[in-house]
Amino acid sequence: MNHEFYMQRCLELAVMGMGNVSPNPMVGCVIVHEDKIIGEGYHQKIGEAHAEVNAIHDVFAKHGDNAPSLLKQATAYVTLEPCSHFGKTPPCADLLIRHQLKKVIIGNTDPFESVNGRGIAKLRDAGIEVITEVLKEQCEFVNRRFFTRIKAQRPYFILKWAQTTNSYFAPEHTSQQWISGPEAKILTHQWRSQEDAILVGKNTVLADNPQLNTREVKGKNPIRIVIDRNLDVPSDFHIFNDAAKTVIFNEVKTEVVNNIHFIQMEDMHFYLPQKIAYQLYLMDIQSVIIEGGANILQQFIVSNLWDEARIFTSKSRWESGTKAPKINGTVIEQTAIGNDELKIYKPNKA
């Protein structure tokens, strides 16, 4: 059997849950009998059935009374180790054991303490053959947000900005001025729908009065996070509407008013990125797009608190303005988006 072929299909299924399963991982599962897929599924929504459950349900839906006998001779492929504990749903390892699958092929072991290796051990103890680390790196990449939250105990941070061809980031005056084109805007909104939260500083809000939503695409709005030390943003700005939960980090008060959560922090001029990272981890926020301004982006860069940078470069030139941040990273992807160039970086290891 071509393990990589079927695991690749699992990955295609897994990413269909993007934006809907956090802080859980994205997981895909394919069940194969005599080199034919007889059922498949993925984790669709937080708190609902896991990938293995949906895949087995698919076998029964397609094969009816023949399903039990087919499963006993089948191999399950799954991107992440089946869970062995009771969470919001029962253990998936127990489900595979109950249906007496012959073999289970796994992409990654689960770094979560309640699972890590225990699902595999449970399967093997039941006499099921287990093979691990098939397309391991690809499976890790799909769940890089989940792995970062579990291992580093912080969200996965994505830096995003647009710059002119001569590296200007924002105009000298405070009025809004677009750098990238409409295609980049649509893609940015797609990205927002895939992540838990979007973070900006006070000056960005005052200059642009942004909505920080996904109005250009179909998808959920991210949690809006604003750094506003002295609560200077007027209450009639878009961030205070009811379109999404909004978190305001400040030094004045802790209070919840409808969907607006004010969270007080002390000494925000010291170790601010680290404080924000820890607070968001406690809030189960798994991924954050940081969209500005330049000062906030630079603070996260200097603190080495970023995992990915997505930078649009337009063909326009400005004579003056605020220079774009500089990062120490390696380009992992480069593509044209309309008239703009998009480069995606990962940080260089120290």
9 annotated as belonging to a binding site for a ligand:
no
CB-count exposure of residue 238 (10 Å: 0-12, 13-18, 19+): middle
318 annotated as belonging to a binding site for a ligand:
no
92 annotated as belonging to a binding site for a ligand:
yes
10 annotated as belonging to a binding site for a ligand:
no
Give the active site residue among 12, 48, 52, 195. Answer: 52
83 annotated as belonging to a binding site for a ligand:
yes
178 annotated as belonging to a binding site for a ligand:
yes
**Measured distance CA(21)–CA(44) in Å, rounded:** 7
10's CB contacts (< 8 A; 6+ apart) are: 28, 29, 30, 40, 51, 77, 78, 79, 107
Report the candidate in 90, 91, 291, 332 with the shortest Cα–Cα distance to residue 191.
291
212 annotated as belonging to a binding site for a ligand:
yes
Q: Residue 238 has which token pair?
A: 């878009």
208 annotated as belonging to a binding site for a ligand:
yes
Q: Alpha-carbon Rg of the chain, whole angstroms?
A: 23
Q: Is 52 a catalytic residue?
A: yes
Report the candidate in 310, 323, 330 with the shortest Cα–Cα distance to residue 159.
310
Residue type, 51: A
192 annotated as belonging to a binding site for a ligand:
yes
Q: Which residues are catalytic?
A: 52
* Residues making up the binding site for substrate: 192, 212, 215, 291
* Residues making up the binding site for NADP(+): 162, 178, 204, 208
* Residues making up the binding site: 50, 83, 92, 162, 178, 192, 204, 208, 212, 215, 291
* Residues making up the binding site for Zn(2+): 50, 83, 92
